[in-house]
């Protein structure tokens, strides 16, 4: 497996983990367990962002074009109405 594939695979795994943490945290009643899972999520967020920056730097990941100010305003408006 090449470096690009390994980085992208690991990044995909971290993204999937991050997507699942919210549901787990929301359903955890035990405060100590909840805090532990939140710490795990926070650590994975840092790990994911660092890996994302590395992948982008090496040209392994090309993000979508940034949203325009108009697009951001539309989303903000929709969120505030909902």
Q: Is the torsion defined by CA of 7, 56, 40, 29 positive or negative? A: negative
Of residues 65, 49, 64, the one with CA closest to residue 15: 49
CB 64 within 8 A of CB 11: no
Work out the percent of the chain whose per-residue pLDDT is above 70.
99
> Which residue has tokens 């943490």?
21
pLDDT in tens, 39-48: 999 999 999 9
Sign of CA dihedral 68, 69, 70, 75: positive
Rounded to the nearest 10 degrees, the angle between the axes of helix 31-58 and helix 3-26 is 150
pTM: 0.72
């Amino acid at each position: 497996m090449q470096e690009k594939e390994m980085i992208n695979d690991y990044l995909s795994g971290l993204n999937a983990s991050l997507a699942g943490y919210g549901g787990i945290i929301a359903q955890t009643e035990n405060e100590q367990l909840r805090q532990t899972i939140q710490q795990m999520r926070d650590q994975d967020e840092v790990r994911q962002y660092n890996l994302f920056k590395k992948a982008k730097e090496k040209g392994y990941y090309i993000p979508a074009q940034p949203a325009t100010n108009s697009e951001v305003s539309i989303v903000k408006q929709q969120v505030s109405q909902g």
